[in-house]
Chains A and B, each alone.
Chain A
Amino acid sequence: MSRAYRIRVQESLRRVITAEDHVSTQLELLELLPVEQMAELLAAELERAGFEKKGNTLTRQNKDVIIEIDPKTANVSVRVQSSTEVEVKGERAAILNREAHRDQNKKTEEATRTELRKDLNKKVDDKKAALETEVTKKLQGSLADIRRELDQVVNRVTAEALKKKAAQMGRITELSEDKASGSLTIVLEV
C-alpha cells in the first residue's frame, strides 16, 4: 500500500498593470480665415482654457484624462491611462507518494506550481481587464464635458474669426454678442 502525503504550494505574483483607451476626432472649424490664422486663434483660445503648449500640440491633463489638440489640423485626442500595482497570492495542494521516486514527486510539485502560476496570471489578466473597463468608463464619462467645452471653444474661435474677417471687409459699425445664445451680429460699412 502506498503512503501518500499532502503538500501545499504557495506563490505570489506582483505586477504593474497598465490600461489605456482613447478617442480621436477633428474639430469642426469653419474655414473663415487661412488655416494658419485659424490655428493661431484656436491655440490662443485653448491656452485661455488651460491648455499648455507641448511641441505642436496643446495639452491639458486632468487626473488620468489627457486632452491633446493639434491646432493646425484641429485633431483632438482624448486619452485616459491608468496603471496600478497588483499582487495576487495563491495556494494549491498536491498529493505525493512517499514510495514514489524522488524525481516523480518533484515533477508533481513542479506541475502544481506551474498550474498555480497559470491561475495567478489569469487573475492578473482579469484585473487588467477590469482596469481596462474602468478606464473605458472613465473616458466615456469625461467625454460629455469635454465635448461641451470644445464646442464652446469652437464657437469662440468662430466668433473671433468672423470679427477678423469682417474687419478685413470693411469698418465694423456695430457689434453685438450674446454669449448665452452664442449669437453674434456684426454691422459693416463697406
Chain B
Amino acid sequence: MKSVSRFEANLLRVLQSFLGRAPARQAANLVMRQSSAPPCLSRAAVELIQDHLQKGVVSYLAHAGWKHERYLRDGRVATGRLWERTAPEHLGLTFSGHSLEILVWLMTTGARNSKPTWRPAHGQLTVGDRFLFFLALHCLRNNDEGKVLARHGILHQDGLIRLAFPDLMAHTRAATFWPPWTTGVGACILEALQRTLTNRWLEIERGKERASDVKVLTALGQSQDAVLVSFAETLTAAGRWDLARFLLQTLAELLRDAPSSNRWLGNVDLDSMRLAARMDVQRAALTLVRCASTLQQWDAQARTVGYFDEGYAAAQLWKSDWESAGGAQICQHAEAILREIEPLKA
C-alpha cells in the first residue's frame, strides 16, 4: 500500500480522468485549484504516475485502435489491429520529465495565468508528452479549464493539438509542427485517433448550427483552414493520405442528407452585413466542406498512379477509402453547398 499526499492523490485522480478512467468533471473540479505545488513529488507518487501512464495510455490506445483496419507501413498496406500493423516493440511511447511538469503545473492556479511559467523548448517534448497534453485538452475541452489551458501557447504549434482542437485555438497564428505525427509511433497514434478526430470535427461542425457570433465563427473557420491546408500539404509530402481518413468520414456523415449551407451559419444575421463580409463569414464557416475538393484532387491524382509507379499502394488505399466513404457523392453535395454561397455562380 503506497501512501501519497492530498496534492498527489488529486493529481492521480486528474490523470485517471485524462486517461478516460474517471469522469472529465472530476478533473475539471481538481485542476488549477492549488495555490502552489510541492517542491517535489514523493517516490511513491512518481511510481504511481508512471504506472498510470504505462497502463492507461496503452489501454486508451488499445480501445481506440482495436479495429481491423488498413494503413500504410513503409509504402505498403498493412492490415489488422494497431498492434498487428506495427509490432508492439515499435509502439513504445516515452514520457519525459515534462509530462510530470505538465501534470504538476496543471494542478496549480498558476496554470490560469496568462503567461505560464512552464514553457518547455519545442524540440524537448517527446511524442508521449505531446499525447499527454492532447489527453488533458480532450478531457477538459468542454470546461472552462480546457479553454484556459488552450489559451497558452505551449503546444499551439503541435499538429495533433491543432488538428483536434481548432475551436479552442481559433486565434493562434503559429505555424503547425507535424513531424511527430506523420512518422513512427506518432503516426500510429494518429491512426488510432481517427474516430476521435471524426467525432471532434463533427462536434465542431454541428456546433456551428448554434453559432451567433460572426467573429467567433470566422476565427474558427480560419483556424480550421490553416490546420487543414497545412495537414494536407504534410500528408501529401509524407505520402500518408490514409491519415486523413477521418476527414472523409466526417464529411460523409455531415453531408449524408445533402444539407443546405444554412446549417453552418447558425443564427448569424447575414442580412445586415455587407456582401463582402457576408461572403467572408460563409466561406470561413464552410472551410471543412471546401476541403472536399482537396480530397477529390487526391482521388484524381491517385487514379493516375500506375502499378509500377511509386506510391501505388498509397494511391490504391486512398481510392478504396474514397469509394467506401462515397467520395463522389460527398463532392457533389459539397459543390452544391458551396455554390449556394457564391453569388456569381448559377
Contacts and interface: CB of A to CB of B under 8 A. Distances in A.
Contacts of B274: 21, 132, 135-136
A23 B279 CA distance: 7
Contacts of A25: 342-345
A23 to B, nearest CB: 5
B276 interface: yes
B344 A22 contact: no
A139 interface: yes
Contacts of B344: 23, 25, 76, 78, 143, 146-147, 150
Interface in B292-346: 342-346
> Interface residues of B toward A: which range?
under 10
Chain A CB within 10 Å — which of B274, B342, B344 has the most?
B344
A22 B345 contact: no
> Interface residues of A toward B: which range?
10 to 19
Interface string B251-280: 000000000000000000000001110010
Contacts, number: 34
Nearest to B345: A25
A139 to B, nearest CB: 6
Contact of B275 (A28, A136, A150): A136
A114 interface: no
8 contacts: A21-B274, A23-B276, A25-B343, A28-B345, A136-B274, A140-B275, A150-B344, A151-B346
Interface in A96-148: 132, 135-136, 139-140, 143, 146-147
Contacts of B343: 23, 25, 140, 143, 147
A132 B344 CA distance: 20
Across the A-B interface, give the 4 residue pairs with the lowest CB-CB distance, nearest first: A25-B344, A21-B274, A143-B343, A22-B276
A24 B276 CA distance: 8
Interface string A73-113: 00010100000000000000000000000000000000000
